[in-house]
Amino acid sequence: MAAAIKTIIIVGPTGSGKTSVACSLARRLNGEIVSADSRQVYTYLDVGTNKAGAWDETRQARIAEGIPQHLTDIIDPSDIFSAGDFVHRSLERIALLKAGNIQPIIVGGTGLYIKALVDGLAPMPGRDTALRNELSAELATAGKEALYARLKSVDPAAAEIHRHNPQRLVRALEVCYLTGTPVTELQRNTRPALEDSIQFGIHWERDALYRRLDERSGEMLRTGMIEETRKVISLGFPPDSPGLLGIGYRNIVRYLDGYISLDLAKEQLQCDTRHYAKRQMTWLRKDPRIQWISVDPGTFDPSHIAGRIMKLL
């Protein structure tokens, strides 16, 4: 393998082709993928999270285009996987890969995970069950906007970052109340968790990406996302499980409960996915360390993009 000194990180919005690019790059560098996707960590939720490949029990990894992809399918839909969990698990995997002379390639669009891995996380307090239950009860009765307003009064920056993620709103408030310090202030007092990394971003022209996402959303509904949601609920996981609160699944739950039509569920899935991609790009563009590679939507070729990355390594 070429000198695998730096851990390669490939980021971009959902649907940008990151995984295919990473697989092509991994074949050239004897590499394996470590997923930085907060939705692909859930078991059973494959279609709606756009997982590539299939799970290989012998390797305990999802194999995408012949390349192992780690940190997918590792928790139940009812569980929570924090940025701290991601840093811990990914650093372990990176160390194992490097020890085996394998190039680690981090791939994902969850900006918080990438930032936590590259810049580190401040020590955070553990879970306080009573406080967590109180905040969760308020979330259930008053909704996420109430928690957003409360967090905005003590940590405006965190409130904006987590506005659309109720679990992270709860956690940010919990940390603030337990420590007396805003989460964003704690996070400023960190040291890098991952040394010697290099970041690349896959950039699409907005309208082309949105068309691609709309097509993919329709394909998800046609290829089993509804059945997948129904199965997860039938296994006993509550409809408000964190995994089922992800984009698309929450709309399908409402469709299955008879509150909205399938056409409306599809429309909401497409709209939410576009908004999610926009939020991802807003986050990622703030990091000047990312080297962006623009793609031609008419001739998108993951192998060609991987070749351009090779020249920049």
Residue 197 near residue 6 (C-beta atoms within 8 A): yes
pLDDT at position 167: 86
pLDDT at position 120: 82
In the block, residue with structure tokens 């009860």: 137
Final residue of a structural domain among 149, 173, 188: 188
- Regarding whether 201 and 296 lie in a shared domain, the answer is yes
Final residue of a structural domain among 164, 188, 212: 188
CATH of the domain at 311: 3.40.50.300
- Regarding whether 181 and 81 lie in a shared domain, the answer is no
- Regarding whether 263 and 241 lie in a shared domain, the answer is yes
Residue 191: band (very low, low, confident or very high) from pLDDT cuts 50, 70, 90? low
pLDDT at position 2: 46
* Whole-angstrom distance, CA of residue 225 vs CA of residue 306: 30
In the block, residue with structure tokens 């190039």: 103
pLDDT at position 110: 94
All residues at 6 or more sequence positions from 237 whose CB lies less than 8 Å from its CB, including other chains = 44, 76, 77, 78, 243, 244
- Regarding whether 110 and 161 lie in a shared domain, the answer is no
pLDDT digits (tens, 9 = 90+) for 99-124: 999 999 999 999 989 998 998 877 77
Chain center to CA of 219 = 20
* Whole-angstrom distance, CA of residue 25 vs CA of residue 107: 11
The stretches of the chain forming alpha helices (DSSP H) are 18-29, 83-99, 111-119, 129-142, 144-154, 156-161, 166-179, 183-188, 206-222, 225-234, 249-256, 262-284, 302-312
Helices 18-29, 302-312: inter-axial angle, 10-degree rounding:
60
- Regarding whether 297 and 203 lie in a shared domain, the answer is yes
Final residue of a structural domain among 170, 188, 206: 188
* Whole-angstrom distance, CA of residue 116 vs CA of residue 89: 12
* Whole-angstrom distance, CA of residue 27 vs CA of residue 306: 10
pLDDT at position 192: 63
Tell me how many domains the chain contains. Answer: 2
Q: How far is CA 190 from CA 115, 185, 186, 194, 232, in A?
A: 11, 10, 8, 12, 38
- Regarding whether 211 and 117 lie in a shared domain, the answer is yes
Name the pairing type of β-strands 54-56 and 61-64.
antiparallel
Exposed (0-12), middle (13-18) or buried (19+): which is 36, by Cβ within 10 Å?
buried
CATH of the domain at 169: 1.10.20.140
- Regarding whether 200 and 65 lie in a shared domain, the answer is yes
pLDDT at position 1: 44
pLDDT at position 186: 80
pLDDT digits (tens, 9 = 90+) for 147-190: 999 999 999 989 988 888 888 899 999 999 988 888 888 877 66
pLDDT digits (tens, 9 = 90+) for 67-92: 999 999 999 999 988 888 899 899 99
- Regarding whether 226 and 183 lie in a shared domain, the answer is no
- Regarding whether 210 and 91 lie in a shared domain, the answer is yes
- Regarding whether 205 and 247 lie in a shared domain, the answer is yes
| Domain span holding position 135 | 129-188
% of the chain surpassing 70 pLDDT: 97
Residue 302 near residue 212 (C-beta atoms within 8 A): no
- Regarding whether 218 and 174 lie in a shared domain, the answer is no
SS3 of residue 56 by DSSP: strand
- Regarding whether 243 and 116 lie in a shared domain, the answer is yes
